[in-house]
Amino acid sequence: AQTVTQSQPEMSVQEAETVTLSCTYDTSENNYYLFWYKQPPSRQMILVIRQEAYKQQNATENRFSVNFQKAAKSFSLKISDSQLGDTAMYFCAFTRLGGSQGNLIFGKGTKLSVKP
Amino acid sequence: DGGITQSPKYLFRKEGQNVTLSCEQNLNHDAMYWYRQDPGQGLRLIYYSQIVNDFQKGDIAEGYSVSREKKESFPLTVTSAQKNPTAFYLCASSPRGAANQPQHFGDGTRLSIL
């Protein structure tokens, strides 16, 4: 069975600084996707970034980038130039190809607070 | 605008009562999902449906039931057999067979016990 682990329940960062959120996963699959979702206080889940396992290049979306280490099964999220609006719960998620395709497995989340 | 609508936003259940959470989408997605979110826990999959008139149990299906009579709708019933129903419930949808398409989420329903 696949599992996703986020080892940092809470983190804080000063506005304009950089922060990295950790995520590790366990799977025997070779083809899969990894995601980071953001859940602000409004509780809506918002996709931040995704990574295809077969791509070696790390995904980047504006101030958000990932460090994907497939051999280590690690998928960390780096937020640069942190903004107050980045304050939210961040969830790492995994889905495999084939079978029950599209079913996301989530970590327990990291609560990020951006301080002015 | 396309999206997912969950209703109601807040719901209260009495002991022994069944309640139904609504989820409607106009994204023309084949697949729909129900997740439960508890404090300090990640989202856990309750049920999912890849196509109309078919659905599968997720990791925590006991005490819940669903139906998928229309592509746009995937209601979740929390039955009296669910002894700890207090949680935040999120509905999601995605194109079927497309793991590279992220799931779109509704705004959620918070269920509490009276």
Q: At A99, is the pLDDT very low, low, confident or very high (cuts 50, 70, 90)? A: low
Which single residue is written with the structure tokens 């301080």? Answer: A115
Q: How many residue contacts between A and B have a Cβ separation below 8 Å?
A: 67
What average pLDDT does the structure give for chain B?
91
Give the pLDDT score at A37.
95
Whether residue B83 has pLDDT greater than 90: no
**Percent of chain A at pLDDT exceeding 70:** 96
Task: State mean pLDDT over A24-28.
Answer: 94
pLDDT for residue A98: 64
CA distance A98 to chain B (A): 8
List pLDDT tens digits, range B23-73.
Answer: 999 999 999 999 999 987 889 999 999 899 999 999 899 999 999 999 999
Q: Is B74 exposed, middle or buried (0-12, 13-18, 19+ CB in 10 A)?
A: buried
How confident is residue A100, by pLDDT bands cut at 50, 70 and 90? low
Instruction: Say if residue B8 is preceded by a cis peptide, omega within 30 of 0.
Output: yes
Residue A106 has its nearest CB partner, among B42, B97, B108, at B42
Higher pLDDT pick, B78 / B113: B78
Chain B residues with CB under 8 Å of A103 CB are 33, 45, 48, 58
Asked if A102 and B88 come within 8 Å (Cβ–Cβ), the reply is no
* Chain A contact for B88 (CB, 8 A cutoff): yes
Contact criterion met (CB < 8 Å) for A95 and B92: no
Tokens read off for A92: 């790492």
Average pLDDT estimate for A95-107: 75
HSE-up of residue B27 (Cα within 13 Å, Cβ side) = 21
Q: Which residue has the higher pLDDT, A9 or A98?
A: A9
Q: Is B62 exposed, middle or buried (0-12, 13-18, 19+ CB in 10 A)?
A: exposed
For residues A68 and A99, the model is more confident at A68
Q: What angle do CA A108, A115, A86 make, to 5 degrees?
A: 50
CB contact under 8 A, B102 and A50: yes
* B86-114 pLDDT per residue, tens: 999 999 998 876 565 678 899 999 999 88
Provide CB contacts within 8 A for B46, sequence distance 6+.
B34, B35, B36, B58, B59, B60, B61, B64, B66, B76, B89
Q: Give the integer Cα–Cα distance in Å for A28 and A76.
A: 19
Is the pLDDT assigned to residue A95 strictly greater than 60? yes
- Selecting from A52, A104, A108 the residue whose C-beta is nearest the C-beta of B40 gives A108
For chain A, the first-to-last Cα distance in angstroms comes to 41
Return all residues near B21 (Cβ < 8 A) that are at least 6 apart: B6, B7, B8, B11, B34, B75, B76, B77, B78, B89, B91, B109, B111
In the predicted model, is pLDDT for residue B1 greater than 70?
Answer: no
Q: Can you tell me the mean pLDDT for A58-86?
A: 96
Pair type for strands A110-115 and A3-5: unpaired
Q: How far apart are CA B49 and CA B44, in angstroms?
A: 15
pLDDT band at B76 (very low <50, low <70, confident <90, very high): very high
Contacts with B97 from chain A: Cβ below 8 Å: 101-102
